[in-house]
Amino acid sequence: MATIRVLSGGAPKEVFVALTPTFERQTGHTVAFTYAVMSALRDRIAGGETADVLVMPVPLLDGYVTEGKLRADARGVLGTVLLSMVVREGAARPDIATAAAFRRTLAVAKTIVHATPGETPSGTYLGKLMGELGVAQEKIVHRSALAGGVDLVLKGEADLGIYPGSEVVGIKGLAVVGPLPAEVQLTQVYGAGVMTGAAEADAAKAFIAFMTAGENHAAWRRGGFDV
């Protein structure tokens, strides 16, 4: 049986944690995950690192197909994830029902945390959005959810956090206010593909087929994705 190496962004992590034991039990394969922010993943790939499966937003996967680093014939769409605002459990839930309400909420917040621009698609998008909305840079903390950004909200060191919804579901002590209004929302479609240097290509295809199968859609929804 094969050991499948997976390089992935953080957004699908909780769903993979939930589903992988069943895949391993059914197939006899084992799966070894490496999670990192997008900039780190891209640096690793640029440095020559390869794996069996690559999990990223679809536009980035498309780029690797063009570069010849990802197979075009062995891909699947996992689901769509939106940006959500979070606060500490028990805190007043701010109004983000409209773009205007969202802007007012940002204006009165003392500290806001989101991923670092340039490290992840959401961080890059939010860095630009905060500037467009006139949010004072001195009250913004840049830290990815993987690197402890959510912990700042849990400790009360940040009033608000904004992250992909899949990265903030089911965390004890954290309350999800809801997705950002459509006018300021970032929609990311995550996919998976087999890398051209895959040592276990057939097992990698089986992994992608399992993760995208209809019977697993409920798990992706529980994990903060739309499928």
Phi, psi of 163 (to 5 degrees): -145, 165
Q: Alpha-carbon distance 92 to 51, whole Å?
A: 44
Average pLDDT over residues 61-90: 97
Express each pLDDT in 202-221 by its tens digit: 999 999 999 999 999 999 99
Q: Alpha-carbon distance 209 to 120, whole Å?
A: 26
User: Encoding tokens for residue 76?
Assistant: 């699947």
Which positions ≥6 away from 62 have C-beta within 8 Å? none
At residue 68, the pLDDT reads 96
pLDDT above 90 for 92: yes
For domain 81-184, is the CATH number 3.30.450.20?
no
- Return the half-sphere exposure (C-beta side, CA atoms, 13 A cut-off) of residue 161: 32
At residue 145, the pLDDT reads 87
Which positions ≥6 away from 45 have C-beta within 8 Å? 7, 54, 64, 69
CATH architecture of 3-79+189-222: 3-Layer(aba) Sandwich (3.40)
All CATH 3.40.190.10 domain ranges in the chain, comma separated: 3-79+189-222, 81-184
For residues 7 and 34, the answer to whether their CB atoms sit within 8 Å is yes
Rounded to two decimals, the pTM is 0.89
Express each pLDDT in 108-151 by its tens digit: 999 999 999 999 999 999 999 999 999 999 999 999 987 899 99
For residues 82 and 185, the answer to whether their CB atoms sit within 8 Å is yes
- Return the half-sphere exposure (C-beta side, CA atoms, 13 A cut-off) of residue 130: 26
At residue 26, the pLDDT reads 97
